[in-house]
Amino acid sequence: MTYTYIIRKAIESDAEQILEHIKKVLRENSSFMATSLEEFTTTIDQQKEWINAQSTLGLLLVAEVNGIIIGMLNFRLSPRKKFSHQGMFGMSIQERFTSQGIGGALINELLNWAKEDKRVEKISLEVFSNNERAIHLYTKMGFREEGRRIKQAKLSPGEYVDDILMSIFV
């Protein structure tokens, strides 16, 4: 099924939906996420503060289908002077909305924003080595692997994945 979606900047009133989105993604794809559902204890007030902070520190986008947030991308510039030309992003899309072009649309929006924002020269991300779908998308969008931390995440006893650092220059 193909969905019609919109991409827009997040606003404070999105806090509750963003929390629900994050919890849903953590339930659906725990083996791809650094945070576990049990660890995710953000309150609505904390979420509102985080949303508001994004406007000065970076960018927070949401993807909506029929008024419901089903995806998001957050980018944050480094606050440290020597690293302030670059930042990291994270992205999540609910499983039933994957493979619809939404991830690519979120990344394109980030790249277009970054080209206009003179502070941004480099965009980086971290992705678990078992997340082949995401790695394929990032590579297709022009990101290149810069490094790999071997067995960085322990999914269960005896089951590890590497953490891959990828980036693109704007």
The pLDDT assigned to 65 comes to 97
Class of domain 6-169: alpha beta
147 pLDDT higher than 90: yes
Specify the 3-state DSSP secondary structure of 38: coil
Neighbouring C-beta atoms of residue 19, cutoff 10 Å? 17
Distances (CA, A) of 107 to 8, 72, 92, 139, 162: 12, 10, 11, 12, 23
56 pLDDT higher than 90: no
- Reported as a single tens digit per residue, the pLDDT across 1-12 is 788 999 999 999
List, in order, residues 6 or more apart from 57 with CB less than 8 Å away. 76, 77, 79
- Reported as a single tens digit per residue, the pLDDT across 78-130 is 999 999 999 999 999 999 999 999 999 999 999 999 999 999 999 999 999 99
Distance CA 35, CA 22 (A): 10
Neighbouring C-beta atoms of residue 122, cutoff 10 Å? 16
Q: What is the mean pLDDT of residues 138-145?
A: 98
Question: Considering only CA atoms, which of 131, 62, 59 is closest in space to residue 97?
Answer: 62
The pLDDT assigned to 57 comes to 87
Question: Would you say 84 and 64 are in contact if contact means Cβ atoms under 8 Å apart?
Answer: no
The pLDDT assigned to 169 comes to 98
The pLDDT assigned to 1 comes to 79
163 pLDDT higher than 90: yes
